[in-house]
Structure formats: structure tokens, C-alpha cells
Amino acid sequence: MSPTPWGAPEAVAVHQAVGIGGTPPRPDGAQKVRGSFAYSSDLSAEGMLWGATLRSPHPSARILSLDPSRARELPGVFAVLTHEDVPGSKFYGLERRDQPVLALDEVRYQGEPVALVAADHPETARRALALIEVEYEVREPLTDPRLAAFDPDRPSLHPQGNLVRHQPIRSGDTESARRRDDLVVVRAEFEIGMQDQAFLGPESGMAVPDGDGGIDLYVSTQWLHHDKRQIVPVLGLPEDRVRLTLAGVGGAFGGREDISVQIHMALLALATDRPVKMSYGRDESFLGHVHRHPAQMRYEYGATRDGRLVYADVEIVFDGGAYTSATPGVVGIGSSLCLGPYEVPNVEVDVYGVYTNNPPCGAMRGFGGVQGCFAYESMMDRLAAELGLHPLEIRRINAITAGSRIANGQAVDAPQPFRSLLDEIAAIPLPEPLGAGADPRDLPGGLSGSTRPDGVVRGVGYGVGMKNACFSGGDDDYSTARVRLTVTNGEPTAHLHTAAAEVGQGLTTVAAQIARTELGVERVVLLPADTSVGDSGGSSASRQTYMTGGAVKAACEAAREELFRLATRRLGLADRPGDDLAVEGGKLVSRRDGVLADLAEVLDGRSVDVTREYHHRPTSAVDPLTGLGDSHVQLIMCVHRAVVDVDVELGLVRVVALDAVQDVGRVINRGGLEGQIHGGSAQGLGLALMEEIVLDGGKVRNASFTDYLIPTALDVPRMKLRLVEHPDPHAPYGVRGAGEAPTLSATPAIVSAVRAATGLALTRIPLRPHDIALGERTEGVPA
């Protein structure tokens, strides 16, 4: 094994008595507040080199020549690598191996890696990059996804063409439904821009050769084992020679599902036989990771005059950018959720994922559901306005319930309190009206003094989001956990080991709470996540509390049963009812006789060590022609109500309230759960009003937090939350995923509120001031 770099994670002992349902402090909370937490960018090792990447300045070009000789001659440079130096497969990818490790003979997006440098100082590495001579034949980039998908005269960006995936859904008889003469029909087209995950910790990590041909990688990622599955073929090494350990992660939100520095720093470390650290700057980070898919959407709804949906005709085109990444999955989820939590008997849906010369797009919180949610919630508001119904009433009329079927035909087979969630959001008191002498800080223009109170209009809007949880569509999704129960310094201790990535969502806190609940101990040791234990799947799809929580629960239950067997032998406890024994407060107790022994006495110097996998219930892949199938494990529901003040002359918006009601199944960690809803809502606010990567001919024009704006504490109001608990009978403890659904529903709620204030159609997000100040009133839009 290679020497461990400074800043690598260590085992953390947590001592407290809080089990599931409470809010214990985060194990890493104090360090992060004090600034002493070691992130992946803080890693260091003796004799380490710095890695850097040469990236294409062009969205589309042929590489005519590449000469690294001048860079190799620069003092302090230890390696310069091109695609010719890749020892194994020259391609990798999240779902398809179509992305070059280093560009071969062409580049397909601005920022595509072309060459690598390792040097003894980051400035030397940057100077070396400037000395690499590349001659390009620049081509006209293909940046319009509709043209890429449907214009046969456009060039193919990949050998198989420009279509990544087309997923239709066909149910009922839409053609016959259209011919009914008693329908109200509403139509609209919507567009959503490219959003960035905007995590604060840029991509970084360290690769350390072990001196025997193998390598250890310390990375900030969302899925250690899947990274390894992509890395090993490129390095051409046996699997057991490549080891990954999770380094400190500074946020993720889907942007770390794809490979960034991992393969490049490994290649450099193996080439130099020295530890190599790579750390992107912010501008490079914007080019070096995937983003949320932009989408162009066309919707048509037909409904009876009492508001009941009869048919839906939908087309969505996702811009996947230059490579596949997660686009097939985004298309799949996007198609099945594109009508939201509403019953529609006749459905005709076509969803496309397309290659372009724009930056690659992949996973981001909400994964394919965010785009459709903006559209279908906007359509429900249009339909309500057309029929003269309250926005909540049109949703009540069409709400799914237990036994309903969603767009892809899957039956809802768990409690579904949609209508009660609508009642709960309506019961939250509205904020006080804006007074004549309002504090300037409470006006849309803020302290700039640009807004006059008499020019402000208030609006109220609603949004409902429905998101699936876990990997599904026929995948055998599972997670692994190892639990070792022992006595340390006279105190019973549970050691937890999983490969699950803690990316800020609070999984380690939840895992410790489960161990305390199931094993009756207060001291829990959290071991670093690495690939020496079985796969825990990705920290995505709102799945880790469900899946890794389920694995920890199963392992703890098995450890407890082994403990009972030990106690039965040692203490002569035969002939007891099966539910008589329990563990509480570090003691073995009998429900009939009280305390029987300390756990230390039962273990008697031994340890109980078990590993368990947890698999969720089976799902099926959808039919490729009809899109129908039981593809989801679980559905999550969140309802938002937004209140906004709008300066209609200047187009400025202040979100006054963004309240939410969410069905959480069962609360495991209340503070963490509320934080997830707050965070998801803030990202939804950002998408509604400010967040967009601006592209010009495929080039990113705002690769900084100066120009790519995200919400601050001044933009996000205090939220009123109501957590509804309807346990899912299929899930551990009845939990539901939490983090993604509020990202879906916050965006349409805010835009709906702005529409209510202005009477504008507002069909593209994020909203810009000129969309409001210069927009035209559209019939059928609520005012």
C-alpha cells in the first residue's frame, strides 16, 4: 500500500445517545464550521507533483497536429501525456464508454481534455500547458438540439448519429380523445436553460502509486465503485491494484457522478511514480463537469369543462451535449415523470436526448424531473385559468391516489396523500402585505433604492413535484454495510464501514443513528468510505438513507441476533420467546425480566462482525415502444407555495415566502431532513430566477461565480415547512427519499407567482428582468 497523504479521511468516533427521529450533531459539523475539515483540495504528500489539463478552446474541431516537445523540456516538468500514452482503453463513460480520456483526432466541446502535465509546482504546470502546440481545424459547432435531432442535413457528432435515446410513451387512445367536442384544449412551449450544480469545492484529488504497480486514489466523488469500474480498463491494471478512498467532498448535487480528475491524475502518477495532485480552478470546474440538461418542451392538454384531464400530448428534447454521460437515464426518468402526479387516461409522449457540441450534460438534483415539472405545473395553471378554477382545485381534481397510474402506467401501490398535502399548504398563513413604509431591504430592488413601494405587485403561486427514488428501471440496486460490534475501553462500540459517499447530505449521521437504535450502543465509529468494502451505489437518486440505511439496518439486525446467540450460550437463556431479548443503553435486557447483563460481559473480549447487502424490491425496464412498465421503486411528493413581490417596471423579483409540505415517509433525522428541503428549494429558486450557464456558439461565457449567479442568504426567505409522515411499506423504517422533490416544485411555484403578479406567459426559465419588464400579456395566463 502507498503512504497515506495528509488530509485523507480517518475513522471518526461519535458518542451520543440520539437514535432515529432525533437531530444529533453532524460528525463533521464542528470541523466544517471552524474551517479545519480536510477537503480533497487540501490533500498533500511528500514529493507530490501537480497535475494540469490542456483543454480545447473550441467546441468543434479536428486536431491536425499536437507537439508536446517544448513542454517536456521545461525544467520542473516530469510528464506530458497525450492519448498515445493511455495504456488501456482510451474511452470511459458513466453509461456508455464514448468519452475519450484525452482527445484523439477531434474535439467535440469547449474544454475537452487534450493533454496532461505533471510538474513540481502548479505555476510550472500552467506554463507547460502553454508550451504544448496544437493545430486545430475549427468547424462550425452544432449547438441546436432540435436541428441535431431532426435535421438530416446536419453532421453526425458520433458514428451512431446524434440521437442518444428516444423514449415514447403510448397509453389509451389519444387520437380518439382529441376528437371529443366537449374539451378545453391548452397548448404551450417551454424552455429551460443549462443549470450548474455550483458546488463550492472544485474537482480535486490525489493519486499515490504504491511502488508495486498499483495505485491509491483519494477522490471527491459520488460513487467510488462506479469510478473504479471506469478507471480500471483505462489504466490496464487488475482490479485489486486500483483502490479508491473518499476524500472530503465540498458538495456534489450530481456533478460528481462523472469522472473528472480521477483518471488523469492516476495516469500521471503511474507515469512519474510520484504522488500527483489535481485541483481545478473555478473557471476550469465549469468546463470540467457536466451540467443540468437544457430542454425544449411542447405540451398540449385536453380536459373536460369540470377540469378533468382527458389527454396529454408531450414532446421534450434534452440537450445532452457532446457525450452520453447520464442522458439515457435522464430521458427515461423525464418521460415517466413528465405529467407529474396527475391522472391522464390518454397519453402520447416523446422524449429525446440529443448530442450537440455544447458542454456535456448529466446528473443534477432532480435528474430529468425538473424540466418536465416546470412544464406540467405551468400547464395546470393555464388550464385552471382557462376554466376559472383555483390552481389548487385543478390539482385536487386530477391528483393521483393509491391505485392510480402515472404517465408510464405504473400503479401507485403505497399511501399517496396528495390531496392532503394541498390542504396542508393552503393552511399555512400567508405573509403580511407589503406596507407603504416598507424597509428598502424588503423591496425587490433591495438597498439599491431602485424600487418604489407603489410599483410593486404581489403574486402567489403553487408547484407540485413528484420524483422517484433509487436506481430502478430493472436495475438490481443494492448497498453494502459492514458492522463490527466490540468493546473498546470497556464500552460497547459499533464500527460502521460502507462505501457510501458522504457529500454533505448527512448520511454518516443517519447511519450512526440507525446503529444506535438497532444495537443499543452510544459509541459509533465511522470508518472511511473506500472500495475495500462492497458497493454502496451512488449518492444520488435520493437513495442513500433508503439503501445504505437499509444495509446498515440489516447488518445491525444480524449483529444483534448473533449477540443474542452468544448471550444464550453464555448466560443460559434458552426457552425464551423470540421477541423477549433486546439491547438498550449498552445492556442486554429482557422484556420480561429487565436487565440481564452488560454487552461487555456478553461479548467477553470477542467481536461480532457481519456484512449485509440490502436490495430494494424488483422493478422492470419500460417497454421501449410504449414506455410502459413498473420502473420505479418509490415516488416522493413535495408541494410549494411561493409569494413574490415584483417590480413590474424594472422586472425585479423578491421571493417573500417559499413554504413547503412534503411527504417524508418517516423522519429519521429531522434537522437533516429540513436542511435537504431548504437546500433543494434554494436550488429551485436559483433555476427560476438567476442560474444559467450562458452559451454562445457552444462556448461558456460566464464560468465564474461573478457571472453565474446563485442564491444567497438575502435571496432565500425563511421557509415554513410541514413534514407529513405516511410510511412507505416497502422501505426501511418506511422512509422516503427527501432531497430531490423540493428542487422540482420550488421552480414552478415561483414562476407561477410571478405570472400571477404580472399576467405574463413566462415560458422560459430562468426569468430575466427584461422577460418581466418588456413581456407581453398572454391570454389564458392567470393574473
Cα(646)–Cα(460) distance, integer angstroms: 11
Domain 41-140+202-249+256-288 matches domain 478-615 at the CATH topology level: no
pLDDT in tens, 339-348: 999 999 999 9
Mean pLDDT (whole number) for 16-37: 93
Sign of the alpha-carbon torsion through 382, 387, 391, 394: negative
Distance CA 527, CA 548 (A): 14
Residue 441's pLDDT is 83
Q: What is the pLDDT of residue 455?
A: 86
pLDDT reading at 779 higher than 60: no
Q: Cell triple for residue 751?
A: 414562476
- Cα gap 675→505, rounded to integer Å: 9
Average pLDDT over residues 285-291: 98
Q: pLDDT tens digits for 511-560?
A: 999 999 999 999 999 999 999 999 999 999 999 999 999 999 999 999 99
pLDDT, tens digit (0-9, with 9 covering 90-100), for 60-86: 999 999 999 999 999 999 999 999 999
Determine whether 466 is exposed, middle or buried from the number of CB atoms within 10 Å of its CB (0-12, 13-18, 19+). Answer: buried
| Angle between helical axes of 741-758 and 369-387 (0-180°, round to 10) | 40
296-355 per-position pLDDT tens digit: 999 999 999 999 999 999 999 999 999 999 999 999 999 999 999 999 999 999 999 999
| pLDDT at residue number 781 | 57
Per the model's pLDDT, the better-predicted residue between 579 and 103 turns out to be 103
Query: For residue range 191-209, what is the model confidence (pLDDT) as tens digits?
Result: 999 999 999 999 999 999 9
**For the chain, domain boundaries:** 41-140+202-249+256-288, 412-470+632-773, 478-615
544-571 and 507-519 helices, crossing angle to 10°: 30
CATH code assigned to 41-140+202-249+256-288: 3.90.1170.50
Q: Is the pLDDT confidence value at 741 over 90? A: yes
What are the residues facing 456 on neighbouring strands?
A: 647
Q: How far apart are CA 472 and CA 532, in angstroms?
A: 25
In terms of residues, how long is the chain?
783
Q: What was the pLDDT predicted at 778?
A: 58
Say if CB 676 and CB 545 are below 8 A apart. Answer: no
SS (H, E, C) 689-705: HCCCCCEECCEECCCCC
Supply 405's cell numbers. 397510474
3-state SS string for 30-73: HHHHHCCCCCHHHCECCCCEEEEEEECCCCCEEEEEEECHHHHC
Distance from C-alpha of 499 to C-alpha of 702, rounded to nearest angstrom:
35
Residue 212 phi/psi, 5-degree rounding, is -130, 25
Q: What is the mean pLDDT of residues 737-764?
A: 97
Cell of 379: 400547464
Mean pLDDT for 621-626 is 96
SS3 call for 774: coil
174-187 pLDDT, tens per residue? 999 999 999 999 99
* Nearest to 428, CA basis, from 210, 225, 723: 723
CATH for the 478-615 domain, from 3.30.420.40, 3.30.70.141, 3.30.365.10, 3.40.50.740: 3.30.365.10
C-alpha cell at 549: 440505511
Kindly provide the b/e burial profile for residues 602-624, where b requires at least 16 CB atoms within 10 angstroms of the residue's own CB: bbeeeebebbbbbebeebeebbe
Q: What is the mean pLDDT of residues 759-780?
A: 88
Residue 7 is inside which H or E element, if any?
none
Between residues 600 and 612, the one the model is more confident about? 612
Residues whose CB is less than 8 angstroms from the CB of residue 634 and which lie 6 or more positions away in sequence, other chains included: 414, 468, 469, 470, 546, 728, 730, 731, 736, 737
Share of the chain above pLDDT 70, in %: 99
Count Cβ atoms below 10 Å from residue 130 Cβ, excluding itself: 11
Residues 463, 373: contact at Cβ < 8 Å? yes
Residue 434 has a pLDDT of 85
d(CA 490, CA 486): 9
Q: What is the C-alpha to C-alpha distance for residues 604 and 508, in angstroms, rounded to an integer?
A: 29
- Bridge partners (DSSP) of residue 721 are 660
CA gap 26, 345 in Å, rounded: 46
- Count the helices and strands in the chain (H runs, E runs): 18, 32
CB 372 within 8 A of CB 338: yes
By mean pLDDT, which of 13-17, 113-117, 505-509 is the weakest?
13-17
Which backbone phi and psi does 122 adopt, to 5 degrees? -60, -35
Supply 384's cell numbers.
Answer: 385552471
Q: State pTM to two decimals.
A: 0.97
Find how far residue 201's CA is from the centre of its chain.
15
pLDDT tens figures, 128-166 = 999 999 999 999 999 999 999 999 999 999 999 999 999
* pLDDT (tens digit per residue) in 353-390: 999 999 999 999 999 999 999 999 999 999 999 999 99
d(CA 448, CA 427): 35
Alpha helices, H only, 473-596: 507-519, 544-571
Using the 8-state DSSP alphabet, how is residue 244 labeled?
Answer: E
Instruction: Report how far residue 669's alpha carbon sits from residue 29's, in angstroms, rounded to the nearest whole number.
Output: 15
**DSSP-derived secondary structure for 431-488:** PPPPPTT--GGGSTTGGG----GGGEEEEEEEEEEEEEESS-TT---EEEEEEEEEEE
Least confident window among 113-117, 242-246, 395-399, 597-601:
597-601
pLDDT in tens, 424-444: 999 999 999 988 778 888 899
Q: CA-CA distance, 353 to 340, in Å (whole number)?
A: 20
- Mean pLDDT taken over the chain: 96
- With CA atoms as reference, report the closest residue to 501 among 9, 41, 29, 14: 9
What 3-state class would DSSP assign to 85?
helix
Determine how many CB atoms are found less than 10 A away from the CB of residue 324. 23
* Cα 732–chain centre separation: 21
753 — pLDDT class (breaks 50, 70, 90)? very high
Q: What is the pLDDT of residue 448?
A: 83
Pick from 618, 620, 630, 622: nearest CA to 730: 618
Give yes or no for residue 414 having a pLDDT over 50.
yes
DSSP secondary structure, 161-193, as one string: -SEEEEEEEEES-HHHHHT-SSEEEEEEEEEE-
Mean pLDDT, residues 757-774 taken together: 97
Contacts of 430 (CB under 8 A, 6+ apart): 460, 643, 657
Query: Per CATH, which fold does 412-470+632-773 belong to?
Result: Aldehyde Oxidoreductase; domain 4 (3.30.365)
- Poorest-pLDDT segment among 246-250, 306-310, 317-321, 567-571: 567-571
Tens-digit pLDDT profile for residues 637-685: 999 999 999 999 999 999 999 999 999 999 999 999 999 999 999 999 9
With contact defined as beta carbons under 8 Å apart, do 498 and 479 qualify?
A: yes
pLDDT at 580 (0 to 100):
87
Interatomic CA distance for residues 424 and 447, integer angstroms: 35
